Amino acid sequence: MNNYLITIIGPTAIGKTALSIKLAQHFGCEIISCDSRQFFKEMTIGTAVPNPTELAAAKHHFIQNKSVFEQYSVGDFETEALAKLDELFKENNIQIMVGGSGLYVDAVLKGFDDFPAIDASVREEIRKEYEAKGITYLQNELEKRDIGFFTKITAENPQTLLNPQRMMRFVEVCIGSGKPYSSFIGQKKNTRNFTPIVIGLEAEREKMYERINLRVDLMMKEGLLEEAQALYPNRNLNALQTVGYRELFDYFDGKTTLDFAVEEIKKNTRRFAKRQITWFKRTENTNWFDYLTDISEITNFVESEIENRSNTEEKRYNR
């Protein structure tokens, strides 16, 4: 437990990348990215991938290492990220993880429950039913097969009911195992060989929205329209169901004007940031800092946390 994973979380456009690089340089370590859309090499501008100067300033992992044509799940990421951390901790007992994808952060810090393997034929049949009947089919199946879990989602996170990928997963576990999805939750105890030190960046809402609007304008100047145009023929891929691309696909389809699409990107990114904040505010033991906090203050805090926890571990060991 003498390994420490400094984890930087917060809403989009808040400055997580810049902070992670400064901390990596200070501690002489590397960076694990857990942004679920920066994994894909075809998506650069719309996912705010660190630029070449930033990538050269500190070594990054899980940046544009996959293709949008590959199937890549949060479980895959958990396995690969933990293996990479095991490697990195051999060189330095302090490493950094950064990203705005809360589910992927949780995967590394806490892990997930152990679900049974589901036959591919079950998954394919559910997919066909969904394509024929829509999201209502998945909602009805989950309600019928796991009413408690369905009620919990409805009350706590109703947007999940509109997410076909997650809903298909819930239903396939129910059908493939013959048991409620919720019966597998909380059964597995995951252990980690590191202590997380979680840093959250925040800003007043108006300032956060201002930064988001400016970022979208910059993305358009840098060529987001052309990037989305190149991806448009594959717009139905799961990886491309992403803010910044969906709105421009509607423009290419003739459903909106370009100006309207850009305003929709800004609006939907602001909504996404609100959801990120809601998720991250539930993250245990997060130490929140204003996005303008001087790097020295954050560095001093991290060093103090490591010293305090190391002393606590040493006392426990010597008892």
Integer Cα distance of 260 and 23 in angstroms:
39
| Residue 75 among known ligand-binding residues | no
> Distance between CA atoms of 5 and 88, rounded to whole angstroms?
11
12 is in an annotated binding site: yes
Alpha helices, H only, 223-294: 224-231, 246-252, 258-280
CB burial of residue 118 (10 Å; 0-12, 13-18, 19+): middle
d(CA 232, CA 234): 5
Does 134 belong to an annotated binding site? Answer: no
Residue 21 annotated in ligand binding: no
The answer to whether the beta carbons of residues 31 and 61 sit under 8 Å apart is yes
Output the furthest CA–CA distance in the chain (Å, rounded).
71
Please tell me whether 132 is known to bind a ligand: no
| Alpha carbon distance, N-terminus to C-terminus of the chain | 16
Q: Is 44 annotated as a binding residue?
A: no
Given a contact cutoff of 8 angstroms between Cβ atoms, the answer to whether 40 and 68 are in contact is: yes
Rounded distance, CA 140 to CA 143, Å?
5
Distance CA 144, CA 147 (A): 6
Q: Is 202 helix (H, G, I), strand (E, B) or coil?
A: strand
Q: Is 16 annotated as a binding residue?
A: yes
Q: Which residues contact 11 (CB under 8 A, 6 or more apart)?
A: 100, 202, 208, 273, 274, 276, 277, 280
CB contact at 8 A, 232 and 246: no
DSSP string, 82-132: HHHHHHHHHH-SEEEEE-S-HHHHHHHHT---------HHHHHHHHHHHHH
- Which residues contribute to the annotated binding site for ATP? 10-17
Residue numbering of the annotated binding site: 10-17
Binding-site residue ranges for substrate: 12-17
